[in-house]
């Protein structure tokens, strides 16, 4: 009799623990692949989101941040700039979202582009590549990229 | 043990077993009523897809419940009846076509995601009804069907116009309304979300939207310290969704604002919804989604259930 009860209990324990298939594999983890290097201390800049974008051909996604003046100008959307605006465009390679079939999320960090406007129309552009934020050597596209970043319209956020 | 004591022990045991046996027979006559109402707007899909869905879901999520004799033995039958009642309430494939087309699509993606994550069909059900199990090969069929529904193409003028109209209004809007819209669960619109830091972004090719997920200071601190399972009380997420506005070169920018959704962590206050208060405000008019929809709280929790060992959160935070 006792034996029988033990066997029954064992069967219940084994089946109930073995059958919980619903477990997220990477539960509690951060997206380390996409995370920004700590040395950048990005949050301390206090930038706000201006807009975000996707490039379906390249499989990348980007978020444009800026300081208060930059955001205000992007909302006005008249294409002009004033001194003291700071922008940061962060671009990631996309990866499939393991938690939702039908979504893509940031993967490998690709680049950080920074634009600062100074007095008398002086604009400073810098680009850094990858997780190690290596300064981008090729300056051929600087003017084109600056123009692109400054022309971005803000996303509607009521 | 003396022979007499052993004998009385045996009698007691026999008595207990007989009482249980009588109870077992008696409860067979207390039977919940499970009927199969007429099927009015059944789910339609190619046969190979329909077969999988029927096999895996229809016993609890349609009016075509097929009970086997062992489902009808009490006390199991009570549990079965309960599951069917709840299952039909959440999703009924027999009423499928009575949903708007966009909702049908959304529900199908959600259903397949529930299967992918192993949340559905329920383990307790597939343990007995092994034929309801969804195999990896079945999943490929379902995923391919969903993928065939995705059409990535440049935005039409309607989408562009929708953004332009919204944008002009928003540009000139007065900041901070005095009376902010509120969900029935008491959660009011939080206009400050746009000043928070970002947790992640996502491209939703299942429904043609793109999103930014913001976190308040509590959330950002939790990410910095990597204490996110569970998230601390006071955490708030704001997930903003826009239309995708694609050009001919495959560049996508944000189109019209669709909605903002909030999740507020308070394991006491929101204990009935797994420790999270859910809210969704649609369009720039910030229309509370749950107004006139009492099932909203359950809808959120049900969809988030596959993430239950991740504190019911889908977003994987990017450290900024």
Residues B203 and B285 reside in one and the same domain = yes
pLDDT band at B7 (very low <50, low <70, confident <90, very high): confident
Q: Could you tell me if A139 lies within 8 Å of chain B, comparing CB atoms?
A: no
Mean pLDDT of A120-134: 91
B13: its two tokens: 């045991």
Mean pLDDT of B120-127: 92
Which among B127, B254, B320 is the nearest to A51, CB-wise?
B254
Residues B175 and B138 reside in one and the same domain = no
Name the 3-class secondary structure at A4.
helix
Residues B137 and B232 reside in one and the same domain = no
Q: pLDDT by residue (tens digit) across B175-211?
A: 656 789 999 999 999 999 999 999 999 999 999 999 9
Q: Which residues in B lie closer than 8 A to residue A108 (C-beta atoms)?
A: none
Residues B116 and B212 reside in one and the same domain = no
Alpha carbons B97 and B92: distance in angstroms, whole number: 10
pLDDT band at B174 (very low <50, low <70, confident <90, very high): low
Looking from the CA of B95 toward its CB, the CA atoms found within 13 Å total 13
**Domain range for residue B169?**
157-310
Which among B198, B226, B316 is the nearest to A105, CB-wise?
B316
- With a pLDDT cut of 90, the percent of chain B lying above it is 76
- Considering the domain boundaries, does residue B283 fall inside one? yes
ipTM comes to 0.89
- Name beta bridge partners: B246: B252
Rg (CA), chain A: 24
Alpha carbons B119 and B113: distance in angstroms, whole number: 9
* Domain stop point among B147, B170, B190: B147
Place of tokens 């509590």: B218
Residues B163 and B279 reside in one and the same domain = yes
Whether residue B34 is predicted with pLDDT greater than 90 in this model: the reply is: no
Q: Could you tell me if A76 lies within 8 Å of chain B, comparing CB atoms?
A: yes
Residues B129 and B260 reside in one and the same domain = no
Q: Which residues in A lie closer than 8 A to residue B208 (C-beta atoms)?
A: none
Q: Which of A155, A19, A38 is nearest to B128 (CA)?
A: A19
Domain count, chain B: 2
Tell if the CB–CB gap between B318 and A36 is shorter than 8 Å.
Answer: yes
Residues B54 and B116 reside in one and the same domain = yes
Tell if the CB–CB gap between B171 and A77 is shorter than 8 Å.
Answer: yes
Q: How many CB atoms lie within 10 A of CB B81?
A: 18
- Say if residue B302 is exposed, middle or buried (CB neighbours under 10 Å; 0-12, 13-18, 19+): middle
Nearest CA in chain B to A103: B204
- Considering the domain boundaries, does residue B240 fall inside one? yes
Mean pLDDT of B22-46: 89
Task: Report which listed range, A5-14, A52-61, A132-141, is most confident.
Answer: A52-61
CATH code of the domain in which B227 resides: 3.50.70
What is the reported pLDDT for B298? Answer: 82
Tell if the CB–CB gap between B319 and A103 is shorter than 8 Å.
Answer: no
- Considering the domain boundaries, does residue B38 fall inside one? no
Residues B119 and B203 reside in one and the same domain = no
Tell if the CB–CB gap between A101 and B146 is shorter than 8 Å.
Answer: yes
Name the 3-class secondary structure at B252.
strand
Chain A to chain B, count of Cβ pairs less than 8 Å apart?
169
Q: Which of B301, B269, B289 is nearest to B103 (CA)?
A: B289
Q: Where are the domains of chain A?
A: 43-158
Instruction: Name which of A122-136, B230-244, B250-264 the model is least confident about.
Output: A122-136
Residues B299 and B204 reside in one and the same domain = yes
Tell if the CB–CB gap between B252 and A76 is shorter than 8 Å.
Answer: no
- Considering the domain boundaries, does residue B69 fall inside one? yes
Residues B241 and B164 reside in one and the same domain = yes
Residues B113 and B165 reside in one and the same domain = no
Q: pLDDT by residue (tens digit) across A13-32?
A: 545 544 556 788 899 999 99
- Considering the domain boundaries, does residue B5 fall inside one? no
Which among A53, A56, A101 is the nearest to B113, CB-wise?
A101
- Considering the domain boundaries, does residue B264 fall inside one? yes
pLDDT band at A50 (very low <50, low <70, confident <90, very high): very high
């Amino acid at each position: 009799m006792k034996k029988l009860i033990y066997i029954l209990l064992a069967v219940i324990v084994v089946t109930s623990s073995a059958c919980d298939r619903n477990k997220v594999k990477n539960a509690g983890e951060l997206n380390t692949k996409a995370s920004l290097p700590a040395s950048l201390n990005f949050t301390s800049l206090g930038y706000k989101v201006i807009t975000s974008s996707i490039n379906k051909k390249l499989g990348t996604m980007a978020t444009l941040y800026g300081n208060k003046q930059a955001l205000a100008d992007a909302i006005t959307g008249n294409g002009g700039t004033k001194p003291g605006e700071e922008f940061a465009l962060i671009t990631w390679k996309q990866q499939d979202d393991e938690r939702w079939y039908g979504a893509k999320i940031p993967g490998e960090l690709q680049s950080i582009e920074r634009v600062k406007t100074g007095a008398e129309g002086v604009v400073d552009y810098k680009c850094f590549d990858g997780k190690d934020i290596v300064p981008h050597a090729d300056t051929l596209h600087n003017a084109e990229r600056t123009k692109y970043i400054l022309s971005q319209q803000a996303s509607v956020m009521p | 043990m003396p022979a007499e004591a052993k004998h009385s022990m045996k009698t007691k045991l026999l008595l207990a077993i007989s009482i249980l046996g009588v109870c077992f027979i008696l409860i067979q006559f207390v039977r919940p009523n499970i009927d199969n109402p007429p099927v009015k707007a059944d789910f339609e899909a190619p046969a190979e897809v329909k077969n999988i869905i029927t096999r895996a879901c229809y016993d609890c999520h349609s009016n075509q419940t097929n009970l086997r004799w062992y489902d009808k033995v009490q006390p199991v039958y009570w549990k079965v009846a309960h599951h069917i009642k709840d299952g039909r309430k959440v999703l009924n494939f027999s009423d499928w076509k009575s949903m708007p087309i966009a909702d049908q699509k959304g529900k199908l993606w959600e259903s397949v995601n529930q299967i992918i994550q192993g949340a559905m069909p329920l383990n307790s059900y597939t343990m007995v009804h092994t034929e309801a199990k969804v195999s990896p090969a079945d999943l490929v069929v379902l995923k391919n069907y969903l993928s065939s529904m995705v059409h990535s193409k440049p935005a039409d003028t309607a989408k562009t116009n929708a953004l332009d109209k919204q944008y002009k209004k928003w540009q000139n809007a007065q900041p901070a309304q005095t009376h902010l819209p509120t969900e029935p669960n008491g959660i009011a619109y939080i206009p400050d979300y746009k000043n928070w830091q970002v947790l992640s972004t996502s491209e939703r090719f299942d429904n043609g939207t793109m999103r930014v997920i913001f976190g308040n200071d509590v959330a950002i601190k939790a990410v910095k310290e990597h204490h996110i399972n569970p998230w601390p009380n006071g955490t708030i997420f704001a997930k903003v969704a826009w239309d995708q506005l694609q050009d001919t070169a495959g560049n996508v920018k944000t189109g019209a604002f669709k909605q903002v959704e909030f999740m507020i962590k308070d394991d006491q206050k929101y204990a009935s919804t797994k420790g999270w208060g859910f809210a969704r405000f649609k369009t720039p008019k910030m229309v509370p989604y749950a107004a006139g929809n009492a099932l909203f709280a359950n809808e959120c929790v049900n969809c988030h259930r596959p993430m239950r060992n991740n504190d019911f959160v889908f977003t994987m935070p990017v450290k900024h």
